[in-house]
Amino acid sequence: MPMSKKRIINLITIASFLLLCCILPIFGAAAEVLGFSDTQAENRAYEEFPKVRSMDELLSFPGRFESWFSDHMFFKTEFVRAKTMTELKLFGELDSSSVILGTEEPWLFYKKADDGTTLETYKRIDQYSEDELYAIGEELRAFKTELERNGVKEFIFYIAPDKESIYGDKYMPDHIVRREGESSTEQLRNFLEREYPDIHVIYPAEEFRASEGSLKGAETLYYKTDTHWNLAGAFLGMSILMDETARLFGTEYSYLDTGFFDAGRAEGDLQRLALLPHAFDRVEYGYDRELQFDYTSVLESEVTGENVIYEGESRSDSCMELSMYFCGDSFRLAAAGYIMEAMERACVADRHYLSLEDVREKQPDVFVLEIAERYLHELPDIEGYNCEARPWSK
């Protein structure tokens, strides 16, 4: 029985689609070999084309070729994004090992298992042992003592809250169960305040939750599709830091009235991890006034080209007549301008580039050690915070 014209058209359409699915990856792989690249969004190193120089490499060639082919498949990013959006639209689910879809789009949360303990801390299932608490306390006290030997008058340990600690109660899905009681961060803060009262600890999660919506022009304090605080969150976080700094030195300080406005869109780090489209771009805020400071020096990394150490001086008549050395992780970036404005002199450094020799040379009045909440469990051995092999430790 001859096939109908409609059936023939359907078969041709299906065959063309399958052929296209086969041809595009092969074409892209060949293009990679010839030096043409298809831009991909995953933040990792891609497999190189497998070489065969020994019998072992010959035997492992099929598996290595499969890994290389998967990494360099043409339009892979677009295919993955299309798959992700299809699942979101049809099932309301996000298939990602790193990102959780919040209850209200576009809210995203972090859950990557090998980069801190974000989800465990939110769920309150990562409590410290007594030995771990004392190990952290002794490390911080030893660091504080070493700084004092080199002329630093005050040391502040600043814990930048995870976004989950501020917005999890509102936007985390119900299947992420949270235990009652204090979090491990609250446990550590309370322990340090009780057993190491000479160490000044700032963990402003309660202040952040209470201040939601209070800053002019700012809907949120953190990006919805990124792990970090935005300019409004950094403003609040640094206001709390400067209040404590002023108290320690018996002075006063308050930032000029500052509001924020929608300055455009940019890709968030969680959006990029989950390969989500531009509909998930984060809102970038701008200031409604110029911050009163000047950069005096900016050091770029020779490896990445990123700015890793900033130095600056305030132009504000109301700045504190003090100097600050602020060492931290990526949360320092949005905070740098506020620090420069509040301090007569300031240095803001990436923790991986912290040098005690530099601290000795600058002799700041106050040293701030900032760490994102999700990395606390890596103390006291966290990479980058233990500069020069921790010479202050016994």
Separation CA 256–CA 274 (nearest Å)? 38
Question: Can you give the length of the chain in residues?
Answer: 394
Instruction: Judge whether residue 38 has pLDDT over 80.
Output: no
Averaged over 341-347, what is the pLDDT?
98
More confident residue, 333 or 307: 333
Radius of gyration of the chain (CA): 25
CB 75 within 8 A of CB 37: no
Separation CA 371–CA 379 (nearest Å)? 10
Instruction: Judge whether residue 71 has pLDDT over 70.
Output: no
Averaged over 347-366, what is the pLDDT?
91
What DSSP state is assigned to residue 302? Answer: T
Separation CA 43–CA 227 (nearest Å)? 15
Please report the pLDDT score of residue 70 as a whole number: 58
pLDDT band at 91 (very low <50, low <70, confident <90, very high): very low
**Tens digits of residue pLDDT in 233-269:** 999 999 999 999 999 999 999 999 999 999 999 999 9
Separation CA 211–CA 276 (nearest Å)? 30
Instruction: Judge whether residue 309 has pLDDT over 60.
Output: yes
Separation CA 108–CA 99 (nearest Å)? 7
Q: What percent of the chain has pLDDT over 90?
A: 61
Looking at every residue in the chain, the average pLDDT score rounds to 84
Give Cα separations from 262 to 6, 222, 223, 265, 266 (angstroms): 52, 14, 12, 8, 11
Can you read off the two tokens belonging to residue 30?
Answer: 């060949």
Please report the pLDDT score of residue 31 as a whole number: 55
Number of H-type helices and E-type strands within the chain = 13, 11
More confident residue, 252 or 25: 252
Return all residues near 25 (Cβ < 8 A) that are at least 6 apart. Answer: 69, 73, 74, 75, 76
User: Scanning the structure block, which residue is given the tokens 């009780």?
Assistant: 194
User: Scanning the structure block, which residue is given the tokens 């800053």?
Assistant: 215
pLDDT band at 72 (very low <50, low <70, confident <90, very high): low
Q: How many other C-beta atoms are found inside a 10 Å radius of the C-beta of residue 393? A: 12
Please report the pLDDT score of residue 82 as a whole number: 52
Averaged over 209-217, what is the pLDDT?
92
Separation CA 344–CA 366 (nearest Å)? 12
Per mean pLDDT, which range of 32-41, 128-137, 353-362 is the poorest? 32-41
Instruction: Judge whether residue 1 has pLDDT over 90.
Output: no
Give Cα separations from 168 to 222, 248, 376 (angstroms): 12, 33, 19
**Tens digits of residue pLDDT in 160-211:** 999 999 999 999 999 999 999 999 999 999 999 999 999 999 999 999 999 9
